[in-house]
Chains A and B, each alone.
Chain A
Amino acid sequence: MGKKRKKVNKKQSRRLFLAPITIFLLLLTIFPFVYLIITSLTDRAATSPSTNFVGLANYKEIFLDAEFRYSLLVTFVITFCSVSVQVIFGLILALSFSNIRSNLWLLRALYLIPMAAAPVATLFNWRFMLSSSSGIINYIISFLGISEVGWLDSRTMALISIIMVETWLWTPFVFVILSAAISSIDPSVLDAAAIDGAGRIRIAVSIYIPMIKPFLIIALVLRIIDSAKSFDTIQILTQGGPGYDTASFNFLIFKNAIEYLNFGYASAEAIVLLVILLVISRFLFNKIKVIEG
Protein backbone atom coordinates (compact mmCIF):
# COMPACT_ATOMS: atom_id res chain seq x y z
CA MET A 1 0.00 0.00 0.00
CA GLY A 2 2.71 2.41 1.08
CA LYS A 3 4.77 1.52 -1.93
CA LYS A 4 1.91 2.12 -4.28
CA ARG A 5 1.25 5.54 -2.83
CA LYS A 6 4.90 6.33 -3.24
CA LYS A 7 4.70 5.38 -6.89
CA VAL A 8 1.67 7.58 -7.47
CA ASN A 9 3.45 10.45 -5.76
CA LYS A 10 6.40 9.90 -7.98
CA LYS A 11 4.28 10.08 -11.10
CA GLN A 12 2.63 13.21 -9.77
CA SER A 13 5.91 14.82 -8.90
CA ARG A 14 6.90 14.31 -12.50
CA ARG A 15 4.50 17.12 -13.27
CA LEU A 16 7.13 19.46 -11.83
CA PHE A 17 9.00 18.87 -15.07
CA LEU A 18 6.15 20.70 -16.79
CA ALA A 19 6.74 23.88 -14.82
CA PRO A 20 9.39 25.48 -17.07
CA ILE A 21 7.46 25.02 -20.31
CA THR A 22 4.25 26.19 -18.67
CA ILE A 23 5.84 29.40 -17.44
CA PHE A 24 7.49 29.90 -20.84
CA LEU A 25 4.23 29.48 -22.73
CA LEU A 26 2.18 31.58 -20.32
CA LEU A 27 4.64 34.44 -20.62
CA LEU A 28 5.23 34.21 -24.34
CA THR A 29 2.02 33.04 -25.95
CA ILE A 30 -0.91 33.61 -23.62
CA PHE A 31 0.22 37.00 -22.41
CA PRO A 32 1.06 38.35 -25.90
CA PHE A 33 -2.26 37.08 -27.17
CA VAL A 34 -4.23 38.87 -24.45
CA TYR A 35 -2.08 41.92 -25.08
CA LEU A 36 -2.91 41.69 -28.79
CA ILE A 37 -6.63 41.68 -28.08
CA ILE A 38 -6.33 44.65 -25.76
CA THR A 39 -4.17 46.58 -28.24
CA SER A 40 -6.69 45.89 -30.99
CA LEU A 41 -9.24 47.90 -28.99
CA THR A 42 -7.00 50.98 -28.86
CA ASP A 43 -5.62 53.51 -31.31
CA ARG A 44 -2.08 52.75 -30.21
CA ALA A 45 0.54 53.87 -32.72
CA ALA A 46 4.23 54.60 -32.33
CA THR A 47 3.67 57.95 -34.00
CA SER A 48 1.14 59.29 -31.49
CA PRO A 49 2.09 59.95 -27.86
CA SER A 50 -1.20 58.92 -26.27
CA THR A 51 -3.18 55.71 -26.49
CA ASN A 52 -6.94 55.78 -26.24
CA PHE A 53 -9.49 53.05 -25.89
CA VAL A 54 -11.57 53.08 -29.07
CA GLY A 55 -13.74 49.99 -28.65
CA LEU A 56 -14.46 48.19 -31.87
CA ALA A 57 -13.64 51.16 -34.10
CA ASN A 58 -10.59 49.43 -35.60
CA TYR A 59 -12.67 46.44 -36.60
CA LYS A 60 -15.32 48.65 -38.14
CA GLU A 61 -12.64 50.46 -40.10
CA ILE A 62 -11.14 47.19 -41.36
CA PHE A 63 -14.40 46.07 -42.88
CA LEU A 64 -14.82 49.41 -44.64
CA ASP A 65 -11.23 49.36 -45.85
CA ALA A 66 -10.90 48.71 -49.59
CA GLU A 67 -7.26 47.72 -49.13
CA PHE A 68 -8.33 44.98 -46.73
CA ARG A 69 -10.91 43.58 -49.16
CA TYR A 70 -8.44 43.67 -52.01
CA SER A 71 -5.78 41.91 -49.91
CA LEU A 72 -8.29 39.17 -49.05
CA LEU A 73 -8.92 38.69 -52.74
CA VAL A 74 -5.17 38.47 -53.45
CA THR A 75 -4.75 35.96 -50.63
CA PHE A 76 -7.65 33.92 -51.95
CA VAL A 77 -6.39 33.90 -55.55
CA ILE A 78 -2.84 32.92 -54.54
CA THR A 79 -4.04 30.25 -52.11
CA PHE A 80 -6.67 28.78 -54.39
CA CYS A 81 -4.49 28.59 -57.50
CA SER A 82 -1.24 27.51 -55.91
CA VAL A 83 -2.77 24.92 -53.57
CA SER A 84 -4.82 23.29 -56.32
CA VAL A 85 -1.80 23.02 -58.59
CA GLN A 86 0.32 21.71 -55.71
CA VAL A 87 -2.20 19.02 -54.87
CA ILE A 88 -2.55 17.89 -58.50
CA PHE A 89 1.22 17.84 -59.07
CA GLY A 90 1.89 16.24 -55.69
CA LEU A 91 -0.61 13.51 -56.48
CA ILE A 92 0.80 12.84 -59.96
CA LEU A 93 4.31 12.64 -58.57
CA ALA A 94 3.34 10.45 -55.62
CA LEU A 95 1.54 7.98 -57.90
CA SER A 96 4.45 7.71 -60.31
CA PHE A 97 6.95 7.52 -57.47
CA SER A 98 5.08 4.58 -55.94
CA ASN A 99 4.75 2.85 -59.32
CA ILE A 100 8.46 2.70 -59.95
CA ARG A 101 8.68 1.23 -56.45
CA SER A 102 12.00 2.76 -55.74
CA ASN A 103 12.15 3.96 -52.21
CA LEU A 104 15.53 5.52 -52.66
CA TRP A 105 16.02 7.92 -49.78
CA LEU A 106 18.33 9.98 -51.95
CA LEU A 107 15.61 10.59 -54.51
CA ARG A 108 13.14 11.59 -51.82
CA ALA A 109 15.77 13.82 -50.23
CA LEU A 110 16.26 15.68 -53.50
CA TYR A 111 12.54 16.38 -53.71
CA LEU A 112 12.57 17.66 -50.13
CA ILE A 113 15.26 20.28 -50.58
CA PRO A 114 13.06 23.17 -51.84
CA MET A 115 10.89 23.23 -48.72
CA ALA A 116 13.73 22.56 -46.30
CA ALA A 117 15.92 25.26 -47.81
CA ALA A 118 16.24 28.77 -46.40
CA PRO A 119 13.42 30.71 -48.08
CA VAL A 120 15.48 33.87 -48.51
CA ALA A 121 18.18 32.00 -50.43
CA THR A 122 15.83 30.13 -52.76
CA LEU A 123 13.55 33.12 -53.29
CA PHE A 124 16.43 35.46 -54.02
CA ASN A 125 17.52 32.92 -56.62
CA TRP A 126 14.05 32.84 -58.15
CA ARG A 127 13.89 36.59 -58.33
CA PHE A 128 17.20 36.59 -60.10
CA MET A 129 16.08 33.83 -62.50
CA LEU A 130 12.82 35.68 -63.24
CA SER A 131 14.51 38.96 -64.05
CA SER A 132 13.21 40.11 -67.42
CA SER A 133 16.35 41.21 -69.24
CA SER A 134 19.08 38.95 -67.86
CA GLY A 135 17.08 36.12 -66.30
CA ILE A 136 17.71 32.52 -67.24
CA ILE A 137 14.00 31.72 -67.57
CA ASN A 138 13.39 34.30 -70.29
CA TYR A 139 16.53 33.04 -72.00
CA ILE A 140 15.27 29.43 -71.97
CA ILE A 141 11.80 30.29 -73.24
CA SER A 142 13.29 32.46 -75.99
CA PHE A 143 14.27 29.17 -77.66
CA LEU A 144 10.55 28.33 -77.77
CA GLY A 145 9.97 31.55 -79.67
CA ILE A 146 8.44 33.37 -76.68
CA SER A 147 9.56 36.96 -76.42
CA GLU A 148 10.75 38.58 -73.18
CA VAL A 149 8.22 38.22 -70.35
CA GLY A 150 8.08 40.78 -67.53
CA TRP A 151 7.58 38.17 -64.81
CA LEU A 152 7.28 40.58 -61.90
CA ASP A 153 6.26 43.74 -63.74
CA SER A 154 2.47 43.59 -64.02
CA ARG A 155 -0.19 42.48 -61.58
CA THR A 156 -1.19 39.37 -63.52
CA MET A 157 2.36 38.25 -64.20
CA ALA A 158 3.48 38.95 -60.63
CA LEU A 159 0.60 36.84 -59.30
CA ILE A 160 1.42 34.06 -61.76
CA SER A 161 5.08 34.18 -60.70
CA ILE A 162 4.16 34.00 -57.02
CA ILE A 163 1.86 31.04 -57.68
CA MET A 164 4.56 29.34 -59.75
CA VAL A 165 7.25 29.75 -57.09
CA GLU A 166 4.87 28.67 -54.30
CA THR A 167 4.09 25.57 -56.34
CA TRP A 168 7.77 24.82 -56.74
CA LEU A 169 8.30 25.29 -53.00
CA TRP A 170 5.37 23.26 -51.68
CA THR A 171 4.55 20.49 -54.15
CA PRO A 172 7.12 18.33 -52.26
CA PHE A 173 5.04 18.80 -49.10
CA VAL A 174 1.94 17.30 -50.70
CA PHE A 175 4.11 14.64 -52.32
CA VAL A 176 5.61 13.49 -49.01
CA ILE A 177 2.23 13.16 -47.31
CA LEU A 178 0.56 11.36 -50.23
CA SER A 179 3.51 9.15 -50.95
CA ALA A 180 3.46 7.87 -47.36
CA ALA A 181 -0.29 7.26 -47.65
CA ILE A 182 0.10 5.36 -50.92
CA SER A 183 2.89 3.16 -49.61
CA SER A 184 0.55 1.99 -46.84
CA ILE A 185 -1.98 0.59 -49.37
CA ASP A 186 -1.94 -3.19 -49.61
CA PRO A 187 -0.26 -3.96 -52.99
CA SER A 188 -2.45 -7.03 -53.57
CA VAL A 189 -5.46 -4.74 -54.08
CA LEU A 190 -3.61 -3.01 -56.89
CA ASP A 191 -2.41 -6.23 -58.46
CA ALA A 192 -5.96 -7.58 -58.43
CA ALA A 193 -7.21 -4.46 -60.18
CA ALA A 194 -4.43 -4.67 -62.76
CA ILE A 195 -5.27 -8.32 -63.47
CA ASP A 196 -8.91 -7.34 -63.91
CA GLY A 197 -7.70 -5.06 -66.68
CA ALA A 198 -8.14 -1.70 -65.00
CA GLY A 199 -6.09 1.02 -66.70
CA ARG A 200 -3.80 3.45 -64.89
CA ILE A 201 -6.32 6.30 -64.73
CA ARG A 202 -9.03 3.92 -63.61
CA ILE A 203 -6.76 2.55 -60.84
CA ALA A 204 -5.87 6.08 -59.74
CA VAL A 205 -9.47 7.25 -59.62
CA SER A 206 -11.13 4.16 -58.16
CA ILE A 207 -8.46 2.81 -55.85
CA TYR A 208 -5.73 5.30 -54.95
CA ILE A 209 -7.75 8.48 -54.52
CA PRO A 210 -10.53 6.99 -52.34
CA MET A 211 -7.98 5.15 -50.20
CA ILE A 212 -5.77 8.17 -49.57
CA LYS A 213 -8.61 10.68 -49.31
CA PRO A 214 -8.09 11.49 -45.61
CA PHE A 215 -4.42 12.27 -46.30
CA LEU A 216 -5.35 14.25 -49.37
CA ILE A 217 -7.57 16.40 -47.18
CA ILE A 218 -4.95 16.76 -44.43
CA ALA A 219 -2.45 17.92 -47.04
CA LEU A 220 -5.03 20.31 -48.41
CA VAL A 221 -5.90 21.75 -45.00
CA LEU A 222 -2.29 22.30 -43.97
CA ARG A 223 -1.44 23.85 -47.32
CA ILE A 224 -4.46 26.18 -47.27
CA ILE A 225 -3.62 27.38 -43.77
CA ASP A 226 0.05 27.93 -44.56
CA SER A 227 -0.63 29.54 -47.88
CA ALA A 228 -3.13 31.97 -46.37
CA LYS A 229 -0.38 33.10 -43.99
CA SER A 230 2.39 33.08 -46.55
CA PHE A 231 4.71 36.05 -46.30
CA ASP A 232 8.26 35.25 -47.42
CA THR A 233 7.46 34.64 -51.08
CA ILE A 234 5.63 37.93 -51.50
CA GLN A 235 8.07 39.94 -49.41
CA ILE A 236 11.10 38.73 -51.36
CA LEU A 237 9.71 38.37 -54.89
CA THR A 238 7.53 41.46 -55.21
CA GLN A 239 7.40 43.41 -51.88
CA GLY A 240 3.67 43.44 -52.48
CA GLY A 241 4.19 45.24 -55.76
CA PRO A 242 3.78 46.49 -58.35
CA GLY A 243 2.15 49.08 -56.07
CA TYR A 244 -0.01 47.08 -53.68
CA ASP A 245 -1.12 44.67 -56.39
CA THR A 246 0.22 41.51 -54.74
CA ALA A 247 -0.19 42.54 -51.10
CA SER A 248 -1.77 39.56 -49.34
CA PHE A 249 -3.59 40.06 -46.05
CA ASN A 250 -0.67 38.86 -43.96
CA PHE A 251 1.65 41.15 -45.88
CA LEU A 252 -0.69 44.09 -45.32
CA ILE A 253 -0.71 43.48 -41.56
CA PHE A 254 3.08 43.41 -41.58
CA LYS A 255 3.16 46.74 -43.43
CA ASN A 256 0.71 48.41 -41.07
CA ALA A 257 2.40 47.04 -37.97
CA ILE A 258 6.11 47.15 -38.65
CA GLU A 259 6.48 49.86 -41.27
CA TYR A 260 3.68 52.29 -40.39
CA LEU A 261 3.75 51.29 -36.68
CA ASN A 262 -0.05 51.42 -36.47
CA PHE A 263 -0.15 48.90 -33.65
CA GLY A 264 -3.82 49.16 -32.74
CA TYR A 265 -5.14 48.81 -36.24
CA ALA A 266 -2.66 46.07 -37.18
CA SER A 267 -3.54 44.11 -34.02
CA ALA A 268 -7.19 44.19 -35.01
CA GLU A 269 -6.21 42.97 -38.48
CA ALA A 270 -4.14 40.16 -36.95
CA ILE A 271 -7.17 39.08 -34.90
CA VAL A 272 -9.35 39.12 -38.01
CA LEU A 273 -6.81 36.93 -39.84
CA LEU A 274 -6.66 34.56 -36.87
CA VAL A 275 -10.46 34.27 -36.80
CA ILE A 276 -10.63 33.65 -40.55
CA LEU A 277 -8.01 30.89 -40.26
CA LEU A 278 -9.82 29.33 -37.31
CA VAL A 279 -13.14 29.30 -39.14
CA ILE A 280 -11.62 27.80 -42.30
CA SER A 281 -9.69 25.12 -40.45
CA ARG A 282 -12.64 24.28 -38.24
CA PHE A 283 -14.72 23.76 -41.37
CA LEU A 284 -12.05 21.65 -43.06
CA PHE A 285 -11.32 19.57 -39.96
CA ASN A 286 -14.99 18.75 -39.63
CA LYS A 287 -14.81 17.43 -43.18
CA ILE A 288 -11.93 15.15 -42.19
CA LYS A 289 -13.95 13.84 -39.24
CA VAL A 290 -16.92 13.08 -41.48
CA ILE A 291 -14.71 11.13 -43.86
CA GLU A 292 -12.90 9.23 -41.14
CA GLY A 293 -16.31 8.30 -39.84
Chain B
Amino acid sequence: MKYLISSYDRIVVAVFLLVSSAPFFWLVGTSLKSEDLVQQIPPRIIPNFELTAYKSIIQNESMQKTLTNSFVTATGATLLCITLGTMASFALINLSSKRHVEFEFWILSSRLAPVIAIVLPLFIVFQALGIQDTILGLVVAHSVMLIGLVTWILLETFRAIPSDVLDASEVDGCSNLQIFRLVVVPLSRSSIIGVASLSFLLSWNEFFLSLVLTSSDAMTVQVLLYQSIGYQTFSLSQLAATSVVVLTPTIVVVSLFQKQLIQGLTFGSVKG
Protein backbone atom coordinates (compact mmCIF):
# COMPACT_ATOMS: atom_id res chain seq x y z
CA MET B 1 0.00 0.00 0.00
CA LYS B 2 2.65 2.44 1.11
CA TYR B 3 4.69 1.82 -2.02
CA LEU B 4 1.73 2.20 -4.37
CA ILE B 5 0.91 5.68 -3.21
CA SER B 6 4.40 6.99 -2.80
CA SER B 7 4.65 8.53 -6.26
CA TYR B 8 1.90 10.98 -5.23
CA ASP B 9 3.89 11.76 -2.06
CA ARG B 10 7.08 12.30 -4.00
CA ILE B 11 5.32 14.76 -6.28
CA VAL B 12 3.86 16.70 -3.32
CA VAL B 13 7.25 16.90 -1.60
CA ALA B 14 8.94 17.98 -4.83
CA VAL B 15 6.35 20.63 -5.69
CA PHE B 16 6.59 22.22 -2.24
CA LEU B 17 10.36 22.14 -2.45
CA LEU B 18 10.28 23.85 -5.83
CA VAL B 19 7.87 26.55 -4.65
CA SER B 20 9.77 27.28 -1.46
CA SER B 21 13.22 27.40 -3.05
CA ALA B 22 12.51 28.92 -6.48
CA PRO B 23 12.42 32.52 -5.17
CA PHE B 24 15.92 32.05 -3.75
CA PHE B 25 17.28 30.85 -7.08
CA TRP B 26 15.70 33.89 -8.69
CA LEU B 27 17.28 36.17 -6.07
CA VAL B 28 20.76 34.69 -6.50
CA GLY B 29 20.29 34.77 -10.27
CA THR B 30 19.38 38.46 -10.17
CA SER B 31 22.41 39.27 -8.05
CA LEU B 32 24.63 37.68 -10.71
CA LYS B 33 23.18 39.67 -13.60
CA SER B 34 24.58 42.83 -15.08
CA GLU B 35 22.46 45.97 -14.83
CA ASP B 36 20.98 46.00 -18.33
CA LEU B 37 20.07 42.32 -18.07
CA VAL B 38 18.02 42.85 -14.89
CA GLN B 39 15.85 45.44 -16.59
CA GLN B 40 15.29 43.30 -19.66
CA ILE B 41 11.67 42.56 -20.66
CA PRO B 42 10.76 39.72 -20.90
CA PRO B 43 12.96 38.74 -17.93
CA ARG B 44 15.93 36.52 -18.59
CA ILE B 45 16.05 33.36 -16.49
CA ILE B 46 19.74 32.52 -16.84
CA PRO B 47 22.09 35.18 -15.43
CA ASN B 48 25.33 36.15 -17.11
CA PHE B 49 27.29 35.44 -13.90
CA GLU B 50 28.78 38.85 -13.31
CA LEU B 51 30.07 39.79 -9.87
CA THR B 52 29.86 43.55 -10.48
CA ALA B 53 26.94 43.98 -8.07
CA TYR B 54 28.80 42.24 -5.24
CA LYS B 55 31.97 44.23 -5.88
CA SER B 56 30.11 47.53 -5.84
CA ILE B 57 28.14 46.86 -2.65
CA ILE B 58 31.22 45.66 -0.78
CA GLN B 59 32.89 48.95 -1.62
CA ASN B 60 29.83 51.02 -0.71
CA GLU B 61 30.32 52.98 2.50
CA SER B 62 26.75 52.93 3.79
CA MET B 63 26.62 49.21 3.12
CA GLN B 64 29.81 48.63 5.11
CA LYS B 65 28.54 50.77 7.95
CA THR B 66 25.12 49.13 8.20
CA LEU B 67 26.55 45.62 7.89
CA THR B 68 28.92 46.45 10.75
CA ASN B 69 26.04 47.89 12.78
CA SER B 70 23.98 44.74 12.22
CA PHE B 71 26.89 42.54 13.18
CA VAL B 72 27.76 44.51 16.33
CA THR B 73 24.10 44.69 17.40
CA ALA B 74 23.48 40.99 16.88
CA THR B 75 26.69 40.10 18.71
CA GLY B 76 25.92 42.46 21.58
CA ALA B 77 22.33 41.29 21.98
CA THR B 78 23.46 37.66 21.86
CA LEU B 79 26.15 38.16 24.50
CA LEU B 80 23.73 40.00 26.77
CA CYS B 81 20.97 37.41 26.37
CA ILE B 82 23.30 34.45 26.82
CA THR B 83 24.85 35.98 29.94
CA LEU B 84 21.53 36.83 31.58
CA GLY B 85 19.89 33.68 30.24
CA THR B 86 22.51 31.17 31.45
CA MET B 87 22.54 32.78 34.89
CA ALA B 88 18.76 32.75 35.17
CA SER B 89 18.50 29.17 33.93
CA PHE B 90 21.11 28.08 36.46
CA ALA B 91 19.05 29.64 39.23
CA LEU B 92 15.91 27.92 37.96
CA ILE B 93 17.54 24.53 37.40
CA ASN B 94 15.73 22.90 40.34
CA LEU B 95 12.38 24.43 39.58
CA SER B 96 9.42 22.27 40.59
CA SER B 97 7.39 21.05 37.65
CA LYS B 98 4.46 23.27 38.59
CA ARG B 99 6.67 26.34 38.62
CA HIS B 100 8.23 25.18 35.40
CA VAL B 101 4.84 25.16 33.67
CA GLU B 102 4.22 28.67 34.98
CA PHE B 103 7.56 29.79 33.62
CA GLU B 104 6.78 28.30 30.22
CA PHE B 105 3.44 30.08 30.22
CA TRP B 106 5.16 33.37 31.01
CA ILE B 107 7.50 32.86 28.05
CA LEU B 108 4.62 31.97 25.80
CA SER B 109 2.63 34.98 26.90
CA SER B 110 5.57 37.22 26.04
CA ARG B 111 5.07 35.96 22.51
CA LEU B 112 1.48 37.18 22.54
CA ALA B 113 2.38 40.80 23.09
CA PRO B 114 2.53 42.82 19.90
CA VAL B 115 6.04 44.23 19.47
CA ILE B 116 4.55 47.70 19.00
CA ALA B 117 3.36 47.60 22.64
CA ILE B 118 6.97 47.25 23.78
CA VAL B 119 8.64 49.42 21.20
CA LEU B 120 6.37 52.43 21.56
CA PRO B 121 7.32 53.14 25.19
CA LEU B 122 10.96 52.32 24.40
CA PHE B 123 10.84 54.79 21.51
CA ILE B 124 9.58 57.55 23.80
CA VAL B 125 11.95 56.72 26.66
CA PHE B 126 14.96 56.30 24.35
CA GLN B 127 14.30 59.76 22.92
CA ALA B 128 14.20 61.21 26.42
CA LEU B 129 17.43 59.41 27.39
CA GLY B 130 19.15 60.30 24.14
CA ILE B 131 19.87 56.70 23.18
CA GLN B 132 17.56 56.79 20.19
CA ASP B 133 19.49 55.73 17.08
CA THR B 134 22.40 54.21 19.03
CA ILE B 135 23.70 50.66 18.91
CA LEU B 136 23.30 50.46 22.69
CA GLY B 137 19.59 51.21 22.44
CA LEU B 138 19.13 48.69 19.67
CA VAL B 139 21.05 45.99 21.57
CA VAL B 140 18.77 46.52 24.55
CA ALA B 141 15.61 46.41 22.41
CA HIS B 142 16.69 43.27 20.58
CA SER B 143 17.54 41.64 23.90
CA VAL B 144 14.05 42.35 25.22
CA MET B 145 12.70 40.50 22.21
CA LEU B 146 15.09 37.54 22.54
CA ILE B 147 15.65 37.01 26.22
CA GLY B 148 12.56 34.91 26.92
CA LEU B 149 13.27 32.51 24.09
CA VAL B 150 16.98 32.20 24.92
CA THR B 151 16.33 31.61 28.62
CA TRP B 152 13.67 29.07 27.92
CA ILE B 153 15.82 26.93 25.57
CA LEU B 154 18.76 27.18 27.98
CA LEU B 155 16.58 26.11 30.88
CA GLU B 156 15.47 23.02 28.95
CA THR B 157 19.14 22.24 28.32
CA PHE B 158 20.29 22.77 31.91
CA ARG B 159 17.46 20.70 33.31
CA ALA B 160 18.69 17.77 31.22
CA ILE B 161 21.96 17.69 33.19
CA PRO B 162 21.72 14.75 35.67
CA SER B 163 21.22 16.12 39.17
CA ASP B 164 23.87 13.66 40.45
CA VAL B 165 26.49 15.66 38.63
CA LEU B 166 25.41 18.85 40.37
CA ASP B 167 25.11 17.15 43.78
CA ALA B 168 28.56 15.59 43.38
CA SER B 169 30.18 18.91 42.61
CA GLU B 170 28.41 20.42 45.59
CA VAL B 171 29.70 17.68 47.88
CA ASP B 172 33.17 18.31 46.48
CA GLY B 173 32.83 21.79 47.89
CA CYS B 174 32.26 23.82 44.75
CA SER B 175 30.71 27.22 45.22
CA ASN B 176 27.71 28.13 43.10
CA LEU B 177 29.87 30.23 40.85
CA GLN B 178 32.25 27.30 40.39
CA ILE B 179 29.40 24.88 39.63
CA PHE B 180 28.09 27.36 37.10
CA ARG B 181 31.43 28.06 35.44
CA LEU B 182 33.11 24.67 35.68
CA VAL B 183 30.20 22.22 35.44
CA VAL B 184 26.96 23.55 34.00
CA VAL B 185 28.29 25.81 31.25
CA PRO B 186 30.96 23.40 29.89
CA LEU B 187 28.49 20.49 29.90
CA SER B 188 25.98 22.49 27.86
CA ARG B 189 28.52 24.09 25.56
CA SER B 190 27.11 22.78 22.29
CA SER B 191 23.56 23.83 23.14
CA ILE B 192 24.73 27.25 24.25
CA ILE B 193 26.50 27.71 20.92
CA GLY B 194 23.29 26.65 19.14
CA VAL B 195 21.13 29.09 21.10
CA ALA B 196 23.67 31.86 20.61
CA SER B 197 23.60 31.28 16.84
CA LEU B 198 19.83 31.33 16.80
CA SER B 199 19.77 34.52 18.81
CA PHE B 200 22.35 36.09 16.49
CA LEU B 201 20.23 35.14 13.50
CA LEU B 202 17.00 36.53 14.93
CA SER B 203 18.65 39.80 15.87
CA TRP B 204 20.39 40.03 12.49
CA ASN B 205 17.07 39.42 10.67
CA GLU B 206 15.05 41.77 12.87
CA PHE B 207 13.38 44.59 10.97
CA PHE B 208 10.57 46.24 12.93
CA LEU B 209 12.49 47.37 16.04
CA SER B 210 15.42 48.52 13.96
CA LEU B 211 13.13 50.50 11.69
CA VAL B 212 11.53 52.27 14.63
CA LEU B 213 14.60 52.81 16.82
CA THR B 214 17.27 53.79 14.31
CA SER B 215 17.47 56.51 11.69
CA SER B 216 21.07 56.90 10.53
CA ASP B 217 23.96 56.27 12.95
CA ALA B 218 22.80 52.87 14.15
CA MET B 219 20.90 51.86 11.03
CA THR B 220 21.06 48.14 10.33
CA VAL B 221 21.50 46.56 6.94
CA GLN B 222 17.85 45.41 6.99
CA VAL B 223 16.63 48.98 7.29
CA LEU B 224 19.05 50.17 4.62
CA LEU B 225 17.84 47.44 2.30
CA TYR B 226 14.24 48.40 2.99
CA GLN B 227 14.86 52.08 2.34
CA SER B 228 16.80 51.40 -0.83
CA ILE B 229 13.84 49.56 -2.32
CA GLY B 230 11.87 52.78 -2.39
CA TYR B 231 14.59 55.34 -3.10
CA GLN B 232 16.46 53.53 -5.84
CA THR B 233 19.84 54.41 -4.31
CA PHE B 234 20.94 50.96 -5.44
CA SER B 235 20.23 49.05 -8.61
CA LEU B 236 18.13 45.90 -8.56
CA SER B 237 21.11 43.60 -8.93
CA GLN B 238 22.86 45.43 -6.10
CA LEU B 239 19.79 45.01 -3.90
CA ALA B 240 19.69 41.33 -4.78
CA ALA B 241 23.39 40.97 -4.00
CA THR B 242 22.83 42.69 -0.65
CA SER B 243 19.94 40.34 0.08
CA VAL B 244 22.15 37.35 -0.65
CA VAL B 245 24.83 38.69 1.72
CA VAL B 246 22.13 39.31 4.35
CA LEU B 247 20.99 35.69 4.03
CA THR B 248 24.40 34.18 4.91
CA PRO B 249 23.69 33.76 8.66
CA THR B 250 20.43 32.02 7.78
CA ILE B 251 22.25 29.42 5.71
CA VAL B 252 24.78 28.81 8.49
CA VAL B 253 22.13 28.38 11.18
CA VAL B 254 19.81 26.25 9.03
CA SER B 255 22.60 23.86 8.16
CA LEU B 256 24.43 23.69 11.51
CA PHE B 257 21.88 24.40 14.23
CA GLN B 258 18.61 23.01 12.95
CA LYS B 259 17.59 21.66 16.34
CA GLN B 260 17.70 25.02 18.13
CA LEU B 261 16.25 26.74 15.09
CA ILE B 262 13.17 24.52 15.10
CA GLN B 263 12.84 24.77 18.88
CA GLY B 264 13.13 28.51 18.70
CA LEU B 265 10.91 29.22 15.72
CA THR B 266 8.09 26.95 16.86
CA PHE B 267 8.46 28.06 20.46
CA GLY B 268 8.84 24.64 21.97
CA SER B 269 5.89 22.95 20.35
CA VAL B 270 8.60 20.84 18.69
CA LYS B 271 11.69 19.72 20.57
CA GLY B 272 13.73 19.70 17.37
Contacts and interface: CB of A to CB of B under 8 A. Distances in A.
Interface residues of A, number: 93
A118 B250 contact: yes
Given A18-B87, A110-B20, A39 B121 contact: yes
A155 interface: no
Interface string A18-36: 1011001100110111011
Interface residues of B, number: 92
Contact of A236 (B93, B204, B226): B226
B120 A136 contact: no
Chain A interface main SS type: helix
A117 B117 contact: no
A107 B20 CA distance: 11
Contacts of A171: 16, 20
Nearest to B92: A18
Interface in B58-85: 83-85
A248 B247 CA distance: 27
B51 interface: no
A21 B85 CA distance: 7
B265 interface: yes
A105 B123 CA distance: 41
B151 A21 contact: yes
A125 B239 CA distance: 9
A12 B229 CA distance: 54
A129 B124 CA distance: 37
Interface of A: 7, 10-11, 13-18, 20-21, 24-25, 28-29, 31-33, 35-36, 39, 89, 92-93, 95-97, 99-100, 105, 107-122, 124-129, 133-136, 139, 142, 168, 171-173, 176-177, 180, 194-195, 200, 215, 218-219, 222, 225, 229, 231-232, 235-236, 250, 253-254, 257-258, 263, 266-267, 270-271, 273-274, 277-278, 281
Interface of B: 1-2, 5-6, 8-10, 12-13, 16-17, 19-21, 23-24, 26-27, 30, 39-43, 45, 83-85, 87-88, 90-94, 110-118, 120-125, 140, 143-144, 147, 151, 170, 176, 180, 201, 204-205, 207-208, 211-212, 222-223, 225-226, 229, 236, 239-240, 242-244, 246-247, 250-251, 253-255, 258, 261-262, 265-267, 269-271
